[in-house]
Structure formats: C-alpha cells, structure tokens
Structure 1
Amino acid sequence: MKALANIGRIQISNEVMLLLLSLYESKGKSFYYDDLFNRDVQAFEKKTIEINLISIAKHLDLSMTEARIKLFAKKKMVPRTKDEHLLANIKISLLQLQSNPDEFEFLVNEIYNLAKLISKDYEPIVFNTYDKAEDGLLKTKKASKREDLEQLLALFQKSLRSNKHELTQLISNFYVDFMNMNIFTKHNDIIGMIVLYALLLKHFNVFKYVSFYKYFLNIKQTWDQGLITANYYWSSGFAQTDMLNRLLVDLLIKAYEEVDIMSHEYEFEKNLNKSDNIENSILKLQEIFTKEDLRKRHPNVSDATIDRTLKRLKDENKIRPLGKGRGSKWQRIIKGNKKALIEQLSLFGE
C-alpha cells in the first residue's frame, strides 16, 4: 500500500486542476441525469452491460467468436468452454454491481466474494501467502495477503473519510497498490479491473448510462504504460501515478460529455412518439439498413419497440426484409425525407 500511504506528497498541476473542475461540474449534474433518464433507466443499463461485456471480452482476448460474445452480452447463455465460463461470471458480477452500485461494500469479504464469483467453474482463486518474519525471532511464518488487503481497504476508507485528498487520486493510487500487492493466486488484473469499475460506478454514476470499459479499451495500451511507470518506483514509496490519474480524469470527462449529448437528444425525443422517431431515422439511413443501425441511434429504445415499428412499416409497404435471422437486413422502399425535413425546418414557408 505504498502508493496510497504516500499520497500526501502528490501535487496536482494547474492543468489537471482545471480538468478536475470541469469533471466535478459535470458530476454535479447527476441528479438531473437520473431524473431525466428515470423512465428508461433499465434500457440504458441493459445497453451499458452489453457494451461493457463486449469490450471486456476484447480486452481479455478471449477465445470466442464475435457472434458468440454478442450472444453472451445480450442473452443468458450456457457456457461451453473455460473462457465462456469466465465471461459468464464477469457478466453476473457486472449485473450485480450495476443493479446496486451504492451497496458495494469496500470490505475484504466483498472483494473475496467477487474473486470466488470470477473463478466459479473456471479456475480456483485464493489469497496468496508469503513468509513473514516473527517479531524478535529469527523465524518466519506463513501469512495471508488477506491481512494486507484488509489494511489497504482500511487505509482507503480512512483517506476517503478525511476529505484531504481528491477522489480520482485516491482511486488511481489504490489501484496501483492493489495491482502491485499480488493479493490473489490468479487473475489479479481481472479482479482489479472490476474493483476499479465498482469504485467509479459508486462515486460517478455516469457509468449507469455509458460504458466504462468501452473507454477503457480505447486507452488500454496507454493505461498499461502508465501502470508500468507507476510500478517502477512503487516499492520505494514514490509510485509515479500522475499518468494513470490523468488518463482516469480524461476518461471520466469524455464519459460525461457523451451523457450530456445523450441528454439533449433524449430530452428532445421523449416528447415524440418512439415509433415515429424510429421511422424518421429509417428515412435518414441508407436504403439498406440493419436493426443494429437503429439500436445505435436509439440506445434507450427497447428491441420490442423496434420490432413493432419494423413490422408496422413492413405492413405499410414502406420497407421489406432482406433475408432472415440475426444478420438480416432491411430495404427502404419509400424515398428518404430530406425534402420534408428542409420544409419542416423552414421558419417562414407557406
């Protein structure tokens, strides 16, 4: 816990301070976002889980086809391989975190339960042990890293309650300590990645509406370099966590920017009939389009609503299906409405 114990020596640059001011201004809109998205919060959470799981599978480079990964992300599937068991276990952990982020207890038992869940039907995970010198004796005894984890968690909670340190600094320094302490026998990287997500979800509810791991995947290489830099002086108590913290702050700001754009679109759309809005999107899309194209444009609309709209437009002879199954496409029969849109936007047209 050398990084967290020495967090007091870290000085925040003026550039990062400005970024933090922007971040916390966005964080202050959380109540507005919760109130605005309340009606469709389950649809947002479902979509977020799907994107998170697909991104994690890419991050871990699992031996699964892209189609199989998407099926696991969307549906409850029966795992057939070790990697599929791992992905299924991760999905359960994300679902539990997403449903009750505020109830995540930062305790040893909670994190150990997470480790056991990740390892279920996959690979056993237990606490590492090491030789610890007994006081005043030239003897050693086997000690469990469970005690080290307990001390790290206690230090984090104490630092959090003190209100003396900035939150993202605390989280990034905790993460560096966890990754260096090698707490469990296997998969500390996966457990650390999920604990990091749990901390962010608990304190920054932006990740109820957008995917954390989508952004994390985009910065994976830079993040790994930042972790190597932080690890270099970790043992001496001078872990260089600036790079990781900057990446974390940038990630959070981009997530809030995405939610802000979503909120403007959602506020406009919520007063429109969802089916009519989907039809309007179809008129703007290419002549050949897929159901996935509509999902991307309307992430808060359920699949059932999209299916009903497609059926209605098919019955009205405005579109027709091309093929069958998950990969099927649709063709728009009627022309797009560019002219209509221009007329609609004309302020003084007759």
Structure 2
Amino acid sequence: MHTFDYERSGRKLLTPQTVNLLNAIHEAKGRQNTQLQISPDLAKPLVNVARIQSTDASNRIEGISTTDKRLAGIVSEKVIPRNHDEEEIAGYRDVLNTIHENYAYIPLKPNVILQLHHDLFRHTPLAFAGHWKDTDNMIVESDGTGHAKVRFTPPSALQTPELMAEACNDYNKANESGNIDSLLLTCMFVFDFTCIHPFNDGNGRMSRLLTLLLLYRSGYEIGKYISIEHLIEQSRATYYEALAASTIGWNENTNDYAPFVNYLLGTVLTAYRQFDERAAIVSANVPVSLHHPTTKKQRIADVLAQSLSPLSKADIQQTLPDISTSTIERTLKTLLDDNQIQKLGAGRTTRYVSLHRQ
C-alpha cells in the first residue's frame, strides 16, 4: 500500500526547474497583493467572471454542461436546476462559494472532504454523496483509436479510508513543520488524492476544489480572480499527460511527483500572469481626461488586436471585467459589421480574431 512522506518527497522536488517556478509564483503573489491594494475595485468583476468560468470548466472537463445563459443563472442562483447536469453544476457552485468565503475555517481532514463531497451532490438524489467509494474503480483513457484502456488502478475501496486519513495527517504534519513550501505540499496532496480516487464519482471536480482550498489556506488566492479550472481545461491534454507520468509506480511508492507538480505550478503561475495582464489593461484604460476617454468599443478592439490567438467572449470579459457581457456582444457584432474582426467557429467554440493585429 502507498505510504506518504511529504517532507522527503518535497525535498526531492527541489530541482532548478521547480525552484524557478516557486520563486516566480512568490514574486507574482506579491505583485497581486500590491495591485489589489492600489486598485481594490479590480477584484469584484474578476471574481464574478472567475466563478462562472470555474464552475463551467471544471464540470465541462467531466462532460457536464448547460447553455451559457442557464450557467450564468445557476451561478448567480437566479434559476433552479432542471436536469441532472444542472444539479451537479449547482453543487459545484455551492462548494466553490463555500471555499471562497470560508477557506480559513476549513481544515484538511477526511470528514471535511466527505462534507464537501456531500455538498457537491446535494442537489442530486445520488446516495453515495458524502461517502467513500464502496466499489473498486479504475482510471480509463482512450488509446486514440476509440478503444478504452486502463491507465491506472487505484487502491481498493477497503483501503480508501485509511489512505485518506494518512494523506491528510502527513500533509498537516509537513505543513505545520514549515520545512517544505506549501505550494509543493498542495500539488503532492492533490496528486495523491487523484490516485486514491476515493469516491464513486466526482473525483476530478473534488481534486480541483481541494486545489483551491489548499492554495487559499496557504495565502495564494489567485483562483478567486483567474479561473484555474479554466486554465486546466484549456491544457487538458497536458494535464492528463502529467497525471499519467506521475502515476507510474504510485502503488509501489516509486512514482515521480515532478511531472504533475511542475504542471500545476505552471498553471498557477499562468493564472498570476493573466492577473498581471488584466490589471495592466484595466490601469491603462483608465481615462486620463474626461474629455478624451477610451471607448469600450476601442478597448475591446485593442484586446483583440493585441492577442496572438483568437478570443472567446468569455476571454474578452475576463480581460475587461468592467464591461458587461451584453456590451461585449453588441461591440463584437459592430466590429464584425465594420470588417475589423473575423468570427471563427460556432456556438460554444466561437472565437474572434482581429483583422488589424498590432
């Protein structure tokens, strides 16, 4: 059975690549704190967009979705779920809100994880909510030809309660010692959670919620403002590759945490850099004179012109959180009519690209 020694494993991770990632995140955290002190009004719109993106992306990774309009209504609690997918989306919303608002009072303990899992499925009739798995499970992936194959066999249902207790205890012990960077502890624990795969369903979503919880409790609140789940969804192939690489030998205690740890640290750093970009754009677009303001249309056009890749409406709103969705939609239509941008794709895959790149 797998054993946990986060202090020893954490010391082995201190390679130049990982240390550079840690140092970059530490610096970015300081910049974020300074920016929020300078521009406190920046926080609220970013939080609103990130909550919608996080709820959407984490569920969509698992094949759970609804329309954009219904999603916004569920996240804002203005509509009630009308099918199973929306029930699960509402549960994610609830747990995400709990973590955002109360993380300081939510310790990492098995019974707490069970409660969060119960709340994740609180809107569904599923009986396994809030209980460890009662049957053995497997992690299956497609081999690229449409055939499924077993990538990893997690520990048995009988071993799960003991493994979760040991993982939580060793994480808390290592965290209290202060000998290992809390970012490394977060990444290692989240990875071990995915390997234990302790629930009949909801393991992926719970792993991402626990990532936010542990980051927030360690002082890294970037997930409030930039959706880490959205970044994971955008790099889904790399996410699964990192999981697979670190999983090899896990049951025999010979696995290498580095691929997954470096992937998750890189994702966190990307979130901080996106925050820097949002803050810079908001600051740059503050009118220096009431007589010569930058119009919202021009700001949206500038964001598209400065981007090296096509952007969705959600991407634009996250970059310009003070501009409403309806204004962005009207402006995109105007820019299309003026032949300033091109529309790519349709439906949820719609993206826009400038025809006047800077």
Q: What is the TM-score of this pair, normalised by structure 2? A: 0.71
Q: Distance in 2 between matches of 1:59 and 1:66?
A: 16
Contact map agreement 1:206 1:256 (CA 8 A) in 2: yes
Q: Deviations over 1:327-348 (max 9, x none)?
A: 897648xx9xxxxxxxxxxxxx
Q: Where do 5+ consecutive residues of structure 2 fail to align?
A: 137-156, 305-312, 339-358
Query: What code does the residue aligned with 1:233 have?
Result: G
Query: What code does the residue aligned with 1:296 have?
Result: Q
| 2:225 paired with 1:209 | yes
| 2:236 paired with 1:220 | yes
Match of 1:121 among 113, 120, 123: 123
Match of 1:244 in 2: 260
Offset of residue 14 of structure 1: 1.8
Distance 1:285 1:180, change over 3 A: closer
Match of 1:38 in 2: 40
Match of 1:191 in 2: 206
Contact map agreement 2:56 2:65 (CA 8 A) in 1: no
Q: Where do 5+ consecutive residues of structure 1 fail to align?
A: 132-141, 311-325, 336-350
Q: Deviations over 1:256-303 (max 9, x none)?
A: 1111122223334456689985x61324656xx9xx599627633264
Match of 1:296 in 2: 317
Match of 2:307 in 1: none
- Which range moved further: 266-275 or 187-196? 266-275
Q: Deviations over 1:72-103 (max 9, x none)?
A: 34553211111110001101111222223333
Q: Deviations over 1:138-159 (max 9, x none)?
A: xxxx968444323221110111
Distance 1:11 1:116, change over 3 A: closer
Match of 1:229 in 2: 245
Q: Percent identity among equivalent residues?
A: 14
- Which range moved further: 24-33 or 62-71? 62-71
Q: Distance in 2 between matches of 1:251 and 1:109?
A: 28
Query: What code does the residue aligned with 1:183 have?
Result: P
Query: What code does the residue aligned with 1:198 have?
Result: L
Match of 2:341 in 1: none
Q: Distance in 1 between matches of 2:88 and 2:287?
A: 42
Offset of residue 197 of structure 1: 2.3
Q: Distance in 2 between matches of 1:182 and 1:167?
A: 22
Match of 1:159 in 2: 174
| 2:18 paired with 1:13 | no
Contact map agreement 2:231 2:267 (CA 8 A) in 1: yes
Q: Distance in 1 between matches of 2:16 and 2:120?
A: 40
Match of 2:92 in 1: 90
Q: Distance in 1 between matches of 2:81 and 2:290?
A: 36
Offset of residue 67 of structure 1: 4.6
Distance 1:252 1:144, change over 3 A: closer
Offset of residue 13 of structure 1: 2.0
Q: Distance in 2 between matches of 1:246 and 1:56?
A: 20
Please show how residues 41-60 of structure 1 align to structure 2 within 5 Å.
41-60=43-62
- Which range moved further: 32-41 or 264-273? 264-273
SS at match of 1:2: coil
Match of 1:112 in 2: 114
Query: What code does the residue aligned with 1:150 have?
Result: A
* Greater Rg over alpha carbons, structure: 1
| 2:171 paired with 1:150 | no
Query: What code does the residue aligned with 1:301 have?
Result: D
SS at match of 2:295: helix
Q: Deviations over 1:39-58 (max 9, x none)?
A: 34222211110111222232
Considering only aligned residues, what root-mean-square deviation do their CA atoms show, in Å? 3.6
Query: What code does the residue aligned with 1:27 have?
Result: K
Q: Distance in 2 between matches of 1:155 and 1:256?
A: 28
Contact map agreement 1:30 1:205 (CA 8 A) in 2: no
Query: What code does the residue aligned with 1:259 have?
Result: F
Distance 1:283 1:255, change over 3 A: closer
